[in-house]
Chain A
Amino acid sequence: MKNTDFDPNLAAWLGDSDALPVPDSLPQSLDQAYAASPPAEEASQAIRRLRQSLEEQLVEKIYFDTLEGTSLGTVFVAVGPRGLTALSFGVTEEDFLAQVEKRTGVRPVRAAEPTQEIEAQVSAYLAGERTRFNFPVDLESLTKFQRQVLEAAAEIPRGQVMTYSELARRIGRPLAYRAVGQALGRNPVPLVIPCHRVIAADGSLTGYSGGGGIKTKARLLALEGVHLL
C-alpha cells in the first residue's frame, strides 16, 4: 500500500506526521481499548515471579556429554549455569552421574551443545595443541577450604610441579598438607584444575583423583614435559 493512500488523520494519530489529529471514532475506540497500562503492581509481581523462576531454572539444569576416544579414554563433561561442574574419566557413566548428583543435588541431562566448547578445549589439550583452558569452572558446591586449595592448584603452570606442603604454605595453612591432599583428591575437575601437578616431597606421585590413578598422573605430566619416573 502506498503511504499516500493512507488516511492523513490516522497517520497524525500514529505520530507519523506533524499534523494534529482531529477527533475520530476509530482512534477513540482503540485508545479506550488499549491505551491503559497494566496496573504497576501486576507488572512488578510478574517481574518478581520471573526472576524467581529464572533462578530456579538456573539451579536446576546441569548438562553432560562424553568425549570419546581420547588418550584418557572416555571423558565425561558436565556443565551448569556457572560453568564446568565436573569432568571425569576412567569411570562409568552411571558413576559419573551419581557423583555429580550427590555433589550438586542435580542429575545431569545429556546435551551436546552446552559442553561443546569445553570438550573442544579438552581434546586440544590432550592432543598437545593447547596449554591452558579458557572457560569458567564452577566450584560453588565445595567448601571454602577445598576451593582455596583447588584455586591455588589451578595456578601451577604447565610443565611444573609442586609438593603438597608447598601448596599448603601457598594458601597460608602450612600444617594442613594432609587436608590439602584430601581436597585435591576430591577435585571435581581433574585435568582442568591440574591436581596432577601436585606431588609428594620425595618426588613420588602418590595418589591421583582422576581415573587410572598414578599411571594417568604420570601420563599427564609426561604430556606436559615433566618426567619424574
Chain B
Amino acid sequence: MSDKPEFDQLIERHGEEIFAYLWRLLRFTADAEDCFQETFFKGFKAFPRLQPPANYRAWLYRIATNTANSFLARQARLAKVTADLNLEILSDGPATAEIVDQRIALARVYAAVEKLPPKQRAALILRKYQGLSYNEIGESLATSTDSARAHVYQALKKLRAELAPHQNDTEG
C-alpha cells in the first residue's frame, strides 16, 4: 500500500522531462502544470497495479499524452490558440517589421502542429524533442514501433505541406 517512496523516485527521475513534454504540447505554463499534476495523480493511483519490470518512463509519457490530448480536445483549442497567438503578436512589445514577421511565422508553426491528429503530434514531439526511441513512443502511444515511426513521418509530411513557403491560405 505504501508505494510513496518508489513513486517519489519516479517524480525525481522523470518529473522534469514530463513537465517539459507537456510544456511543449500545451505551451501555456498554467495548462502544462495542470496536466502535469493530473498525470502524476493518475500515475500514483495506477502505480500499485503496474507489473514490474515496466518501462516507467514510457508509462508516464502515455499518461501524460492521454491527459494532454483530452485537455486539448476539451478546450477545442484551435480557435483559442489562434486568438492567443494574435494577441501575443500584438502585445509582445514594440517590434520591427522583421520581428513581427518572425512572430507570425512562429504562430503558423504552432497552429499547424496543433492541427495534427493527436497521436502524430505527440509522436513528433516525443521523437525529436523528448528523445524517445520509436519503441518507447510505441509504448507511450499504445501502438507498435512501426506505427510510432509512421506517425512521426506522417506528421512531418503534413507539416511540410501546411508550412510550405509562400502559402497564404491559412485554412480558417
A53 touches B109 (CB 8 A): no
Partner of B41, one of A10, A29, A54, A79: A54
Partner of B2, one of A30, A43, A53, A82: A82
Instruction: Indicate whether A33 sits within 8 Å of B110 (C-beta atoms), given known contacts A50-B15, A54-B41, A136-B1.
Output: yes
CA A91 – CA B157 in complex, angstroms?
67
A54 touches B109 (CB 8 A): no
Interface of B is mostly: helix
Output the nearest chain A residue to B129 by Cβ-Cβ distance. Answer: A34
A7 touches B156 (CB 8 A): yes
- Determine whether A22 belongs to the interface, using a CB cutoff of 8 Å to chain B: no
Contact residue range for chain B?
A: 35 or more
Partner of A1, one of B15, B106, B125, B154: B154
CA A29 – CA B124 in complex, angstroms?
14
A37 touches B150 (CB 8 A): no
CA A44 – CA B16 in complex, angstroms?
7
A30 touches B15 (CB 8 A): no
For B40, the chain A residues whose CB sits under 8 A away are: 50, 54
Instruction: Indicate whether A10 sits within 8 Å of B15 (C-beta atoms), given known contacts A33-B113, A46-B33.
Output: no
For A3, the chain B residues whose CB sits under 8 A away are: 149, 153
Output the nearest chain B residue to A58 by Cβ-Cβ distance. Answer: B4
For B106, the chain A residues whose CB sits under 8 A away are: 29, 32-33
Instruction: Indicate whether A14 sits within 8 Å of B127 (C-beta atoms), given known contacts A54-B40, A81-B2.
Output: yes
- Determine whether B128 belongs to the interface, using a CB cutoff of 8 Å to chain A: yes
B37 touches A50 (CB 8 A): yes
B37 touches A29 (CB 8 A): no
Partner of B159, one of A26, A43, A58: A26
- Determine whether A178 belongs to the interface, using a CB cutoff of 8 Å to chain B: no
Instruction: Indicate whether A7 sits within 8 Å of B160 (C-beta atoms), given known contacts A14-B127, A46-B36.
Output: yes
B105 touches A49 (CB 8 A): no
- Determine whether B78 belongs to the interface, using a CB cutoff of 8 Å to chain A: no
What does the 1/0 interface line of B128-167 toward A look like (CB < 8 Å)? 1100000000000000000001101110110110010100
B20 touches A43 (CB 8 A): yes
- Determine whether B56 belongs to the interface, using a CB cutoff of 8 Å to chain A: no
- Determine whether A145 belongs to the interface, using a CB cutoff of 8 Å to chain B: no
B159 touches A136 (CB 8 A): no
- Determine whether B71 belongs to the interface, using a CB cutoff of 8 Å to chain A: no
Nearest CB of B to A47, in Å: 5
Which residues 42-90 of A have a CB within 8 angstroms of B?
A: 42-44, 46-47, 49-51, 53-54, 57-58, 79, 81-83
Nearest CB of A to B10, in Å: 11
What does the 1/0 interface line of A5-20 toward B look like (CB < 8 Å)? 0110010011010000
Residues of B that sit less than 8 Å from A by CB: 1-2, 4, 7-8, 11, 15-16, 19-20, 23-24, 29, 32-33, 36-37, 40-41, 44, 105-106, 109-110, 113, 125, 127-129, 149-150, 152-154, 156-157, 159-160, 163, 165
Extra contacts besides A6-B156, A43-B23 (11): CB < 8 Å: A6-B153, A7-B160, A16-B149, A25-B163, A26-B156, A29-B109, A33-B109, A43-B15, A47-B16, A51-B8, A82-B1
Q: Which 9 A-B pairs have the closest CB atoms?
A: A38-B23, A33-B109, A47-B15, A43-B19, A29-B109, A46-B33, A6-B153, A83-B1, A43-B16
